[in-house]
Amino acid sequence: MHGSVRLRWSAAGLRIALALALVLASGAAAARARAQEEGQGEATERRRIPPARVTGVRMAELPDDPTAFTTVIETRDVEGEVRDTEELLARTVGVQVRRFGGPGQLSEISIRGSSADQVVVLLDGVRLNTAQSGSVDLSTIPLELIERIEVTRGGGSVQVGSGAVGGVVNIVTKRATPEPSTSASLSGGSWNTWSGSLSHSQRLGRTDVVAAYAGFHTDGDFRFQSAEIESDLGATSESRELVRVNNEVERHSGLVRASHPLADGVRLSVGDNLFTVSRGQPGLDTGAGPLGGQSRVAHERRTRNLADVRLAWEALAGGAASAELLLSSLFERTHFTDPMPSFGPSEIDSSSDIYATALRASGEAEASWRGSEHGVSLRLDAESDVLRSNEFDDTSRWSFGGFLQDEVRLCTGRLTLTPALRYDYTRGFGHEWLPRIGGTIAPVPWFRIKGNAERSYRVPSFDELFFPNKGFIRGNPRLQPEQAFNYDIGIELGVAEAGFARDARFEVAYFQSDIDNSIVFQQVSPQTIAATNTGPVRVRGVELAVALGLTEWVDLSVNWTHLQTELERSSINTLLAQSESVLPGRPENEVGARVRVGPASKLWKLVTAVQYTSEIPLTFSGNSVVSARTVVDLSGSVDLAQLMPWERWWLASPLRLSLIVNNVGDVSVRDSVGFPEPGRSLTLELEGRW
């Protein structure tokens, strides 16, 4: 496998650079006029989706939420190290990211062995999963627009409803700051890949406003080795060197958010996020011919707009309670064309529009009763999804539900219980009752034992139900919802200082998910693949995460996720003769490590990240696999502003220059058999703030 570096100015690169030059100039002007305003900024939004109130705190006292297994990623902590959201999430314990091609192509998340449909992804607390496909493409959420990511592992249906069998990811976008602030970045790298971002935050009168833009372009024409596949029948295809064709991507995303106080303790905020992408779809590389079966002409265009309006009462009942009313509207349009498909009798010209509208009312209150402290949460949801497609009849779905939770703190907080109950109703699938109980024992502030038991479920997507019969793939309107019971138990501790070690964190957990009626697309005849309920599935495993600082110069983190999946053989396919079956696409082991070296002043830093992934089974039998791999990434950055011998009013601070080398060893990487990923690549990035 070979990675090439070709830095040449494309039309997209010139557009991004020109836009950046204009904003750099405006950023300098904003720096000169910056007023030192006093007062409150945009109030932090109260969230109970998931109810974790975990922050990026790394101190001896553990985070607030006592039962959730949650990881919070602050994007500022990894500046100059990663290029995209999927790469950042892939380094998180319990998380596997499945990529289907090069930069900017489809990427999906799995938590604790789940499918992508079994993870709910929220953008500022609003669901991105739609009823059409059920999953979320991570490549449609640019890293440049994100402030932090909250990953809660384990079932979350009690909080967010259908779909959260594996967990919940809440992506928090950039927030307004009290003082004027401008940032800009420009990067270029392998395969004519360019990206740029602009953002500005300012208070206008009493209104806090933030606006941001992110652009990306790549040719994506990397070289790769085609897969050497050994099938269940013993046949082997030889590997050869190919070039990825029709893999160009151009995407743009914008964010606007404003927040205004209406009265004391009452705040109105509105936001809008617009995303659009145009990208080639080369498809599988498992065919014959000089291109290996890749398509030169298949193409996808996607547009998504998410708007929300929030009204928050931040201090009710003398500050003991709060409430929020949220109205959101999501529109997503997808258009896919392929004049010469590899399968099927004729050309494909598929278009679909999905409209999702949601209304949510939520509240929290604190109270004391007979020596115990209570944190009560109540939420009511209503949602409507409407799909219009040229491939099957227009269809719609509506649902409503709500949950009640009480966080009971006893023995001055050393014992916590969190009973919760949710009711959901979905048209066409009836109602669901979802109980949950969590608990912690914390004899000291820096150590606790915690565990959860809860029920979760997932309603089939429109594609799984109604996908048109094209002779090789079809939906199944007789599907039943997935039902699951989730359990986990673990310990976590934090030590502020111990000899030469500082800010040490340790977490280990055992988890298990028992799923009935798991939905997968599988072969039901020699010519047809269809969505089916497979029957009982068990996923269990262990998570281990360690992070600590060694002096002020070195930070070290290591995580390990071990998975075991079991699928009842009689429930899948009588053609399988094996005594055991596994879920395809789930590696048994993933190990990640990160070492950062650099001074506390952040003048410079060097980072090494290593990710090991064991064999990935491709079939239920586990006889066909993607080989294990170890990928090493290196990055280095320097703050040019600190190197200047005198202060310059126009200079950004920081002004960081970074070099990122991904896949240093040029290792062949695949998460799925027909979709190669790039080898070694280089990215040079310049980012500044004013």
What angle is formed at CA 477 by the lines to CA 476 and CA 481, rounded to 5 degrees?
A: 90
Residue partners of 275: CB distance under 8 A and separation at least 6? 140, 141, 142, 251, 252, 253, 302, 303, 304, 305
Phi (first) and psi of residue 51, to 5 degrees? -70, 5
pLDDT of residue 91: 93
Q: Which of 258-272, 281-295, 518-532 has the lowest mean pLDDT?
A: 518-532
Longest dimension (CA), the chain: 77
C-beta neighbour count of 555 within 10 angstroms: 21
Cβ atoms 77, 635 nearer than 8 A: no
Over the stretch 360-371, which tens digit does the pLDDT of each residue have?
999 999 999 888
**pLDDT score for 379:** 96
pLDDT for residue 340: 81
When pLDDT is averaged across residues 234-242 and rounded to a whole number, the result is 69
* More confident call, 327 vs 655: 327
Give the whole-angstrom CA distance, residue 501 versus residue 495.
9
Average pLDDT, the chain: 85
364 forms bridges with which residues in the sheet? 322, 377
113-145: pLDDT as tens digits = 999 999 999 999 999 999 998 899 999 999 999
Which pair of tokens denotes residue 181?
Answer: 């602030």
Q: Is the pLDDT of residue 26 over 50?
A: no
Distance CA 65, CA 150 (A): 12
- Do residues 507 and 491 touch, judged by C-beta distance below 8 A? yes
Tokens 């509240």 identify what position? 363
pLDDT value at residue 148: 92
Dig out the tokens for 374 from the structure. 């209570």
- Report d(CA 153, CA 493) in Å as an integer: 18
| % residues pLDDT > 70 (the chain) | 84
Q: What pLDDT does residue 61 have? A: 44
- Judge whether 234 and 249 are in contact, CB under 8 Å: no
Joined tokens for residue 14: 């010139």
* Least confident segment among 314-328, 433-447, 494-508, 550-564: 494-508
Residue 307 CA to residue 286 CA, distance in Å, equals 41
Instruction: Check pLDDT > 80 for residue 23.
Output: no
Task: Return d(Cα 188, Cα 5) in angstroms, integer.
Answer: 10
Reported as a single tens digit per residue, the pLDDT across 60-86 is 344 445 688 999 999 999 999 998 999
- 80: tokens are 């100059």
d(CA 116, CA 109): 5
**Residues 177, 201 contacting (CB under 8 angstroms):** yes
Determine the pLDDT at residue 27: 40
Cα–Cα separations (whole angstroms), residue 285 to 288, 355, 359, 451, 625: 8, 34, 44, 44, 16
pLDDT above 90 (res 401): yes
Closest CA to 395 of 363, 364, 372, 428: 428
Report the alpha-carbon distance of residue 567 to residue 570 in Å, rounded: 9
Q: Bridge-partner residues for 328, per DSSP?
A: 308, 358
Q: Please check the confidence at residue 229 and state whether its pLDDT lies above 80.
A: no
Average pLDDT of the segment spanning 408-436: 94
Query: Which pair of structure tokens corresponds to residue 681?
Result: 């690549």
Total length of the chain:
690
Q: What is the pLDDT of residue 346?
A: 74
pLDDT of residue 526: 60
pLDDT band at residue 4 using 50, 70 and 90 as cut-offs: very low
Name the DSSP class of 51: -
At 276 the three-state DSSP class reads strand
* The pLDDT value given to residue 75: 92
Structure tokens, 430: 């009836």
Per-residue pLDDT reduced to its tens digit, 181-221: 999 999 999 999 999 999 999 999 899 999 999 999 999 99
> CA-CA distance, 201 to 124, in Å (whole number)?
17
- Alpha helices in 593-639, H assignment, sequence order: none
Read off the pLDDT band of 284 (50, 70, 90). Answer: confident
- Integer Cα distance of 225 and 485 in angstroms: 41
Q: Tell me the CB-side half-sphere exposure of residue 96, using CA atoms within 13 A.
A: 29
- Backbone φ and ψ of 253, nearest 5°: -145, 140
- The whole-number pLDDT of residue 624 equals 79
Cα 422 to Cα 160: distance, rounded to the nearest angstrom: 9
Q: Bridge-partner residues for 483, per DSSP? A: 457, 516
295: tokens are 């398509």
Give the residue among 423, 387, 480, 388 at the shortest CA–CA distance from 131: 387
pLDDT-derived band at 28 (thresholds 50, 70, 90) equals: very low
Question: Looking at residue 56, what is its pLDDT?
Answer: 33
Report the Cα–Cα distance between both ends of the chain, in Å, rounded. Answer: 41
Sequence-distant (≥ 6) Cβ neighbours of residue 354 within 8 angstroms: 130, 131, 132, 330, 331, 332, 333, 385, 386, 387, 388
Task: Name 400's Cβ contacts closer than 8 Å, sequence gap at least 6.
Answer: 380, 381, 382, 383, 424, 425
Residue that has been written with the tokens 């060893």 in this structure: 665
Cβ atoms of residues 315 and 265 within 8 Å? yes
Tokens representing 153?
A: 């592992």
Is residue 385 over pLDDT 60? yes
Q: How far is 39 from 22, CA to CA, in rounded Å?
A: 30
pLDDT band at 626 (very low <50, low <70, confident <90, very high): confident
Contact 153, 511 (CB under 8 A): yes
Taken in order of first residue, the domains within the chain and their CATH numbers are: 11-36+59-689 (2.40.170.20)
Q: For residue 499, what pLDDT band results from cuts at 50, 70 and 90?
A: confident
- Which pLDDT does position 225 carry in this prediction? 86
Report for 42-56, 194-208, 612-626: range of highest mean pLDDT? 194-208
Q: Torsion angle of alpha carbons 661, 663, 666, 670, nearest 10°?
A: -150
Q: What pLDDT, in 10s, does the model give residues 548-563? A: 998 889 999 999 999 9
Smallest CA-to-CA distance from 326 within 55, 48, 41, 120 is with 48
Highest average pLDDT, of 342-356, 459-473, 631-645, comes from 631-645
Q: DSSP secondary-structure letter at 14? A: H
Token digits of residue 359: 């209304």
For 146-185, write each residue's pLDDT tens digit: 999 999 999 889 999 999 999 999 999 998 888 899 999 9
Tell whether the model's pLDDT for residue 49 goes beyond 90. Answer: no
pLDDT at 472: 65
Q: What is the pLDDT of residue 234?
A: 52
